[in-house]
Structure 1
Amino acid sequence: MTALERVRRAYARIAAVDRPEVWIDLRPQPAAEAEAAAVDARVAAGERLPLAGTVCAVKGNIDVAGLPTTAGCPAYAYRPERDAPVVARLRAAGAVVLGTTNLDQFATGLVGTRSPYGAVRGAVDPGRISGGSSSGSAVAVALDLVDLALGTDTAGSGRVPAALNGVVGLKPTPGLVPTTGVVPACASLDCVSVFARTVEQAEAALRLIADPGAPPPARRPGPWRLAVPAVDRLGGLANGWAEAFTAAADRFTAAGAELRELDLTPFDTAAAMLYEGAFVAERYAAVGEFVAAAAERGDLGLDPVVAGIVRAAGDVPAHRLYADLAELDRLRALALAELGDADALLLPTTTWHPTFAEVAADPVGSNARLGRFTNSANLLGLCALAVPAGSVAGLPFGVMLVGPARTEERLGALARLLTAPPVRLAVFGAHLTGQPLNGQLTALGGRFVSEVRTAPGYRLYALDTVPPKPGLVRVEGDGAAVAGELWELPAAGLGGLLAGLPHPMALGPVDLADGSRAPGFLCEPAALTGAADITAAGSWLAHLDRCP
């Protein structure tokens, strides 16, 4: 698809979806089309543009040349002369920016409701919040209005809305991506984050916007290692979320990762310091004088919750900040010791998905619940990746991988164990339900799908093995249909199963009676010497029933 075609499709989708609260400023379509045509011309001239044909959105606290930067407050708006570096790098790679997106004012909040431009509704259930502060960016990706979106993430703003809307949210290591041209929330902690529908898209965008830097720390050889808190230490999760988290952890185990328990206490304690400690004073340093002056003149564009947080932050004494910095150093050492040699910490991204009424009833408490697992990452200097992990009661459920500094690539590899689509496997012998090797499938996260039959063209033999198993072979001519089962496995699980497959078994394509094809267990023809042909039984289980 050309860049121009993609832009036209995007504007048609924006009109069809009709979610005006997603945007603060949407560019006129002719302007975006002109930029797209220029991208197509560059590609036609032989220029390599990795994001050609991609459209993106930018959170309203990041500078986009030609559009006002509002940070969610109309009275604060200014018109930047140039793009923020992160925006310029995406455009240089061929992406077309469609506009700036709505946010919790001054990036203060995780709810997506604190904006004079309107509360951003959830992508799946419009009666629930979208999450914030990068609300518009997350929903723009979730509703397929854009391919990529930039957000910011200080306390979880790039991860909570990703989880609540079923998309990927990549928060890099603090300092990896430049924040020049970004209205600060807490300048020492702010990160520019990426929203995408796949891990691969998010990683590609991050490679383009990140500054070059030191290589990631080396990892000890061996299987992937995940630190996971005990589920009973994750109190306060919404109904069904603990079970969904356990299922996600089990999928990592099935894919070959090693899981060990971790004490979450230093992470929880650090998370609480972000708003309850002195670090909130940096929000006053960013926009406090503006908020105070606007409040004095009765500016109706100020969100009252945001204004209250920012103004109170100006009362934090300096001595408390220094005490908190020392305490944070202690907590960081404890947290990294708990993480140990694990490649990542696995957590639910957030704790619940509230309705608008629930947030309105307790705006500060609701926000605190949403950030319980995300608040600590930047304080501790960690990177994080939020990925979809299924649904609960029809709403998206997500988990988060948190890793040491500059291990974004490692987190992406781990996430693919969870997000890779399952593969089908046809079985006809000892891996059938109730048979001796069926536990190999269930241990790898396998799921029974249905009973199946092969297309007519196979023969079945009883092999002399321990445990007894059949050999299925494709033949020319005198073949028959053989009954078996169809299973689904995580892709990594199938690879592990194949690695341990004993001779003379092999994995190959099996034609099924419904005209489809699936990988299945076959037998090398050389192993059939002396084996009894049991095709007439119709299946391995029927043959076993006939045996004395």
Structure 2
Amino acid sequence: MTLPDMLTIDTLLAAYRAGSLRPTTVVEAVLERIEAYASKDPAVWICLPARAELLARAAELESRDQKHLPLYGIPFAVKDNIDVAGLPTTAGCPDFAYTPQTSATVVARLEEAGAIMIGKTNLDQFATGLVGMRSPYGQPHCVFDSRYVSGGSSSGSAVAVAAGLVSFSLGTDTAGSGRVPASANNIVGLKPSRGVLSTQGVVPACLSLDCVSVFATTVDEALQVEAAAMALDPQVPYSRVMQPYALPKGAFRFGVLAEADRFFDGDSENAALYAQAIQRCQAMGGTAVELDYAPLRETAELLYNGPFVAERLAAIEPFYDAHHDAMDPAVAGIIGGARRYSASDVFRAVYRQHSLRQVAAQMWEQFDVMLLPTMPRLVSKEEVRADPVGANSLHGVYTNFVNLLDMSACAVPSGFRADGLPFGVTFIAPAFADHDLGVLAGRYHALAGVGSGLAKVAVSAPAEGVGKGKVLLAVVGAHLKGLPLHYQLEQERAVLWRTTRTAGDYRLFALPGAVPPKPGMFRQPGFDGQGLEVEVYELSAAGFGRFVAQVPQPMAIGRITLEDGQEVSGFLCAEAQARKGQDITDFGGWKAWLKADKA
């Protein structure tokens, strides 16, 4: 099978399931693509594992049951301020480099889901910048025109997806770094709500604001990656669980810039494309409402033009003091500028930030989402060389405020200028609206008809029922009705669909030391048992995502086959972990064993 121009998750999974493609074949093809694309842009990657290591990972996956791995064989890239075990983390600064022994939580969770980490991508040094030009490892460029920047700071991650080198990638987003590069390269950039993806193992830019972001071909696939990566992480001070938040279905109200606030730095084509985006949303059933951009603009200025820059210094202060001469001059100047602010200045800025949050919260009474240009216009490399700070600031006009005001955002392609450069818009909503916001943005992306990535591959609207439909989840242990963790299903208004049994080749073990007590279930091909009793619940897609985020190790959510052959999502446990406990398979289910154990 010849690989498609864009390595979409759905296409690869379908080919794997049909037996027409293997992960080792994909890895070989991806490495060939990376080598070929390097002749066009040699600055996308900072570090790639050895070919043999990648092929060994792919071969190991081929020995496993792909039914239980939602991202089986899917190649992805990681921004090089995110740890991958055994590979150097540079944050775009060679003198800072270190080699971690463990991967960042998000990387570990994606690999547990079956994804293949292909390599570490270039970035603006210490994730400080929105242009992709502040790196000693070279400057990636826009996939459509080498004279223009790729956008930053997640420059290489965006290009790797847009050029069809990987299926998805991880970036980070503090001030717009997960959205600006998406717009510059005609792909999707999902900025999750702060804290729902762990930042453990991520070199901080501003720890209180940082988000791990996702670049993908479609919004559906970005949301799929987010769901697999989500986890409450007690190691991270700002980690939190996704909370219920629903946007209206059907008709909706969307905030737009007033004519006086539509700043495009003289670019009339982008101004026209934004007006066209508003009309497109109206055709989707939306009602445009002018928003007051003044408090958002003031919030944005706090990030770089105020004491909040001190948090960037706090992240790397010992290194900065010893090695600032080795840093990119623009980055060193920004971070070093924090020294002019006092602790009192910082607290005053925090007070103002919270006041502005109150103002922003009232905005959501006027409309459900915002529709903004992702940036006024894409700058050229020549402009950045002439005015590094000014050109960079231009990219952040419509992005910097989002994390300071605790909002979720999703950037999607929207159109092309006559010169072939892309234009994108960003949908913004309150925190925890990630899923419903993504569904809306995905509908828009399909309607825009501009495709995705360099190949401009066609994008379909979200499947019927996504966002409105349901997910079936089988529970086998402490989430059963009447047991200690059932409340988590009640919180999501889960509805009992039926009580049934698994196929006969599942085993059940009581996990040692689990609090509350819980079992571990795994599939053992060839085992001929009676099946295990499970309760199958119906949840909303958004509720399912929130529920999955609470699942602790060694548990995982995968695909489970029921006695009638139907496949649903359900709890699974690594066999090695489960076998440390007591084999209770013969009891036929957790409740039966609890009853016998107490007798």
**TM-score between both structures, scaled by the size of structure 2:** 0.68
Q: Does 1:367 align with 2:392?
A: yes
Confirm or deny: 8 A CA contact 2:143 2:150 kept in the other structure. Answer: yes
CA distance in 2, matches of 1:262, 1:48: 46
CA distance in 1, matches of 2:379, 2:256: 25
2:537 alignment counterpart = none
2:424 alignment counterpart = 398
Q: Does 1:260 align with 2:279?
A: no
Q: Does 1:236 align with 2:264?
A: yes
Query: How big is the shift at 1:221?
Result: 6.3
2:382 alignment counterpart = 357
- The residue correspondences of 1:295-310 to structure 2 (distance < 5 A) are 295=324, 298-299=325-326, 302-310=327-335
Local SS of the residue matching 2:251: coil
**Aligned partner of 1:197 among 217, 236, 245:** 217
Local SS of the residue matching 2:169: strand
Letter in 1 for 2:332: A
1:115 alignment counterpart = 135
CA distance in 1, matches of 2:242, 2:103: 26
1:152 alignment counterpart = 172
- The residue correspondences of 1:33-432 to structure 2 (distance < 5 A) are 33-43=55-65, 47-211=67-231, 213-219=241-247, 223-237=251-265, 238-295=267-324, 298-299=325-326, 302-340=327-365, 342-392=367-417, 393-420=419-446
Letter in 2 for 1:79: T
CA distance in 2, matches of 1:193, 1:220: 25
Distance 1:226 1:167, change over 3 A: same
Confirm or deny: 8 A CA contact 1:112 1:135 kept in the other structure. Answer: yes
CA distance in 1, matches of 2:394, 2:42: 28
CA distance in 1, matches of 2:247, 2:189: 24
**Aligned partner of 2:43 among 21, 36, 42:** 21
CA distance in 2, matches of 1:312, 1:343: 37
Local SS of the residue matching 1:119: coil
Query: How big is the shift at 1:232?
Result: 3.3
Query: How big is the shift at 1:47?
Result: 4.8
- RMSD of the alignment, in Å? 1.9
Confirm or deny: 8 A CA contact 1:343 1:410 kept in the other structure. Answer: no
Bigger mean CA offset, 216-225 vs 375-384: 216-225
Kindly provide the CA deviation profile for residues 469-495 of structure 1, in whole angstroms up to 9, marking residues without a partner as x: xxxxxxxxxxxxxxxxxxxxx979xxx
Identity of aligned residues (%): 47
CA distance in 2, matches of 1:304, 1:288: 16
Equivalent residues, number:
422
Structure 1: any 5+ residue segments left out of the alignment?
424-489, 493-548
Letter in 1 for 2:144: V
Bigger mean CA offset, 24-33 vs 106-115: 24-33
CA distance in 2, matches of 1:239, 1:304: 33
Query: How big is the shift at 1:260?
Result: 1.3
Query: How big is the shift at 1:218?
Result: 4.2
CA distance in 2, matches of 1:112, 1:194: 17
Kindly provide the CA deviation profile for residues 216-245 of structure 1, in whole angstroms up to 9, marking residues without a partner as x: 234456612211112431123433001101
Distance 1:235 1:92, change over 3 A: same
Kindly provide the CA deviation profile for residues 168-217 of structure 1, in whole angstroms up to 9, marking residues without a partner as x: 00001111111000000011100000000111110100011112524323
Bigger mean CA offset, 32-41 vs 375-384: 32-41
CA distance in 1, matches of 2:461, 2:206: 41
Letter in 2 for 1:122: C
CA distance in 2, matches of 1:491, 1:100: 31
CA distance in 1, matches of 2:342, 2:106: 34
Distance 1:221 1:412, change over 3 A: closer
Distance 1:153 1:491, change over 3 A: closer
Confirm or deny: 8 A CA contact 1:186 1:282 kept in the other structure. Answer: yes
Confirm or deny: 8 A CA contact 1:72 1:103 kept in the other structure. Answer: yes
CA distance in 2, matches of 1:422, 1:205: 23
Letter in 2 for 1:75: D
Confirm or deny: 8 A CA contact 1:288 1:310 kept in the other structure. Answer: no
Letter in 2 for 1:70: T
Bigger mean CA offset, 309-318 vs 153-162: 309-318
CA distance in 1, matches of 2:244, 2:368: 12
Structure 2: any 5+ residue segments left out of the alignment?
1-20, 233-240, 450-459, 463-599
Bigger mean CA offset, 15-24 vs 395-404: 15-24
CA distance in 2, matches of 1:378, 1:422: 27
Distance 1:221 1:73, change over 3 A: closer
Local SS of the residue matching 2:308: helix
Query: How big is the shift at 1:97?
Result: 0.5
CA distance in 1, matches of 2:377, 2:153: 16
1:478 alignment counterpart = none
